[in-house]
Structures are given as C-alpha cells and as structure tokens.
C-alpha cells in the first residue's frame, strides 16, 4: 500500500495528471462548465499532493502575484459580506472562488518549464482551431439564418454558449500563436511553424466572421500592442510604422468586404441613433447604454465604499423600476463601472493595484504572450463584466496564474515540469 501511495506522489505520474488537468480545463472553457470546475479542483488536489508541501506552501507568499490575485478574491468576499442580499452575495463569491483556489494550486504545483509552458499553450491553440472550425461549419450550413441573427443583435452560436468569452479565447489563441512563433516553437518538425502561422490567420478570419465587437477591438488592440512591442524591444521603427498603418486600414476592409462585420457596424450605428432619440427598445446596444446610465446613478449613492456586490443588482432594479419599468434589469456592461458602483472608489483603486501588479512584477510585461493576455482582459473590462461569469473567471485565473508560475522562474531545490 505504501509503495502505491509513494508512486502516486512521485513526480512523474503527478506531472502527467497536472498536464491532463490543464488540457481538460481548456476543453472545459470551450464547451463544458462542469469539466472546467472538475479540472480546477484537480489542479488544487494535485498541488496539495506535493511531496514538498511545507516548502512549496511558502511560495504563495513569496510570489506577490499570487497574493495580488488572492487580494481580488478578498475584495469580492468583503463586499459580499457587507451586502444585504445573501443569496446574490454567495453567487458572486462562488463564481470568484478560482481566484482563491488557483493561486494556492499554482503555488504548490511544480514550476512549469519553458518547454512545458509552450507545449500546453500550443495544445490550447490547436483545440481552439478545432472549435472554430466547428463554429464556421455550422455558420456556413446555416448562413442565411446566422445573418438574420446578427441583424437583430443576436450572436452566432459558440460551443460554450458565451460568444463574447469565446471571442476572447480566440484572441488568446491568436496571441499564443504570436508568442510561439516568436519563440520558434515546434513539436517535431520545423515545418509546423508554417502550419501554425496559417492557422493564426485562420483564427483572425474567424474573429471577423463572428463579428463580436469586443473580440475585434481586442484583436486590433493586440495587433497594435505587438507592433509597439517590437518597435520598442527590437527597434523596428520603420517596419512598425508601416504595420500600424496597415492595421489602421484593416477594419475598413473588414467592413467593406465581410458581410457579418458590415451588418454589425450598421446595427451599432442604428442603435446609437435610437438611444440618442430616447428609444431603448429590445436591442442589446441601447440596453447596455442604459445600464451605464443607471449604474452611474447608483454610484452617487455610495461613491467611497459602494453599495455592495451582492446588492448592486437590487439597487439597479430600484432605478429601473422608477424610470424604465419596462426594461430588463442589467448589470452595467463595464467591469470598472460595475466595481465602482459595488465597492466604491476605494475598492476600485484596490482592484486596479491587485490587477496590474503581476504585469509589472519582475518585469513580466517583457513576455509577449503575458502582455497580450493583459491587453485582452483589460479591453474586455471596457464592455463586459468578465469576472462576473464562471468562464470569464476561469480564463482570467488560469492564464494569469499558469503564466505567473512559469515566469517566476525556478527557486532553489524546486523541480520543474519538463514532460
């Protein structure tokens, strides 16, 4: 019996199980919240099964990026505790749990070597290619129906049922491809780099066909960030300026020649005109704009410490009932504004400190993928409550802490995942 336990706790089988958990988490993000939850729990368990648990436990506090992520969870927890709506508060805390559990898990897991980090990112990349292929086949088979969905502000169906989060995941796959190509990564043969480059282009085309606006904003924001990265790091100024001019032209070409993009842009213009005229209707754009207005009214009630993350929806509902009783109550579709209303200016400043800390800690922004990951999440906050959904928290927590685990380097006497 002892020998079996010893074997299970041994580094080699544990590494395989950690790998399998990461891959299953990728699949969970794409198509199964249940698998996503199980995979996160597995990472925590395999972290706790560390043969050097006492030594590894100290890494939670030694790496301040782990502490910063724990700080975000504590902000959610404290705001929930001071809220009156217990059920809503517990829902928010439950969704935020990965920001408590995964920092502990990745602190206890072996440090990912560069090779293992690259391999797992490439697996994620290829899984997203397969998922996008399925989405486009469905789009092609039901082209007319899909175009009609876009006309009435509905989205093209995606495997996880959350088209916005799915578009963020495609962007992360694109940016992972950028970094892997920069690193000249391949599994067996160098020609794989040509395949990856082609598939990066395929994912970019997919983003345009899906026409999720925040997905497009993140894509072009990431492309611009990549160009500036090389201009500053490699001194490619002339090439950089030419590329920036090209990036500026691409949105126009997309509008001109991609029907789904043209439909989405025209609809946005129409909805903006409707809102300006005081017509809210049932379109997502006008309702989002209204949610901003209502949230700003809520902010005025408790500007310093907020109304509580569990009570925010109730406070929004009061204003809706008073001024717009026929409209559906919505959280403001801007994470910064949502957090401002829920936790006040004090909570928002605390969050910004915890959020940006890992980017600058040990100059982690020098890693292109990590920089583009931050670009993705930050821009998503502008129009979405990314950390208010299980998939959004999963995307943020995993890729942040997985990268932090790798970027922190290898402490003395600390084994790495090499398989």
Q: What was the pLDDT predicted at 282?
A: 67
Residue 393: inside a domain, yes or no? yes
Q: With pLDDT > 90 as the criterion, what percentage of the chain qualifies? A: 62
**Predicted TM-score of the model (pTM):** 0.91
| pLDDT-derived band at 411, boundaries 50, 70, 90 | very low
- Our count of domains for the chain comes to 1
Q: What was the pLDDT predicted at 212?
A: 85
**Could you give the angle at the alpha carbon of 418 between the alpha carbons of 186 and 180, nearest 5°?**
30
In what helix (H) or strand (E) does residue 396 lie, and over which residues does it extend? Answer: helix 390-407
Q: Please give the residue that has the higher pLDDT: either 301 or 211.
A: 301
Domain interval for residue 43: 2-272+330-417
Residue range 334-371, pLDDT digits in tens: 999 999 999 999 999 999 999 999 999 999 999 999 99
Sign of CA dihedral 192, 193, 198, 204: positive
Q: Which residue matches tokens 């109304």?
A: 307
Residue 139: inside a domain, yes or no? yes
Residue 297: inside a domain, yes or no? no
Residue 296: inside a domain, yes or no? no
Nearest alpha-carbon partner for 64 in 103, 101, 98? 103
Question: What is the Cα 12 distance to its own chain's centre?
Answer: 31
* Helix segments in 154-301, DSSP class H: 163-182, 192-210, 213-234, 237-257, 259-276, 284-299
Residue 143: inside a domain, yes or no? yes
Residue 287: inside a domain, yes or no? no
Residue range 246-278, pLDDT digits in tens: 888 878 777 777 776 777 777 777 666 766 766
Q: What is the DSSP letter of 84?
A: S
Nearest alpha-carbon partner for 178 in 19, 393, 361, 371? 371
Residue range 104-138, pLDDT digits in tens: 999 999 999 999 999 999 999 999 999 999 999 98
Residue 294: inside a domain, yes or no? no
Nearest alpha-carbon partner for 66 in 109, 22, 122, 120? 109
Q: What was the pLDDT predicted at 262?
A: 77
Average pLDDT, the chain: 87
Residue range 228-249, pLDDT digits in tens: 998 888 777 788 788 788 888 8
Q: What was the pLDDT predicted at 399?
A: 98
| pLDDT-derived band at 145, boundaries 50, 70, 90 | confident
Contacts of 134 (CB under 8 A, 6+ apart): 159
Distance CA 105, CA 148 (A): 45
Give whole-number Cα distances, 341 to 236, 260, 315, in Å: 43, 35, 10
Question: What is the Cα 34 distance to its own chain's centre?
Answer: 18
The region of weakest confidence among 4-18, 119-133, 135-149, 200-214 is 4-18
Residue 180: inside a domain, yes or no? yes
Contacts of 20 (CB under 8 A, 6+ apart): none
Q: What was the pLDDT predicted at 222?
A: 95
């Amino acid at each position: 019996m002892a020998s079996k336990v010893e074997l299970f706790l041994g580094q080699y089988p544990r590494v395989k199980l950690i790998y399998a958990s990461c891959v299953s988490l990728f699949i969970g993000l794409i198509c199964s919240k249940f698998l996503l939850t199980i995979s996160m729990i597995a990472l925590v368990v395999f972290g706790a099964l560390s043969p050097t648990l006492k030594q590894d436990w100290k890494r939670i506090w030694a790496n301040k990026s782990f502490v910063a992520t724990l700080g975000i969870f504590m902000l959610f927890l404290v705001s929930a505790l001071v809220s009156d709506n217990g059920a809503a508060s517990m829902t928010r805390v439950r969704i935020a749990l990965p920001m408590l559990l995964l920092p502990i898990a990745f602190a206890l897991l072996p440090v990912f070597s560069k090779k293992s980090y690259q391999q797992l990112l490439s697996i994620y990349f290829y899984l997203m290619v397969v998922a996008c292929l399925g989405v486009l086949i469905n789009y092609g088979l039901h082209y007319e129906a899909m175009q009609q969905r876009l006309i009435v502000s509905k989205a093209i169906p995606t495997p996880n049922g959350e088209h916005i989060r799915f578009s963020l995941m495609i962007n992360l796959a694109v940016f992972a491809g950028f970094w892997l190509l920069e690193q000249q990564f391949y599994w067996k043969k160098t020609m794989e780099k040509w395949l990856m480059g082609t598939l990066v282009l395929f994912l970019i085309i997919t983003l345009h066909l899906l026409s999720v606006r925040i997905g497009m904003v993140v894509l072009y924001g990431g492309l611009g960030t990549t160009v500036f990265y090389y201009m500053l790091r490699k001194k490619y100024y002339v090439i950089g300026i030419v590329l920036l001019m090209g990036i500026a032209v691409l949105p126009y070409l997309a509008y001109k020649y991609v029907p789904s993009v043209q439909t989405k842009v025209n609809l946005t213009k129409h909805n903006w005109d409707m809102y300006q005229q005081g017509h809210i209707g049932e379109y997502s754009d006008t309702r989002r704009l209204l949610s901003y207005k209502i949230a700003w009214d809520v902010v005025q009630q408790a500007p310093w410490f907020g109304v509580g993350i569990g009570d925010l929806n109730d406070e929004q509902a009061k204003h809706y009932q008073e001024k717009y009783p026929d409209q559906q109550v919505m959280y403001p579709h801007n994470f910064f504004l949502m957090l401002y209303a829920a936790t006040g200016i004090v909570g928002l400043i605390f969050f910004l400190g915890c959020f940006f800390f890992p980017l600058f800690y040990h100059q982690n922004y020098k890693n292109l993928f990590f920089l583009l990951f931050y670009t993705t999440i930050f821009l998503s906050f502008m129009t979405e409550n990314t950390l208010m959904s299980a998939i959004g928290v999963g995307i943020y927590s995993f890729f942040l802490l997985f990268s932090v685990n790798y970027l922190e380097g290898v402490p003395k006497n600390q084994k790495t995942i090499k398989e």
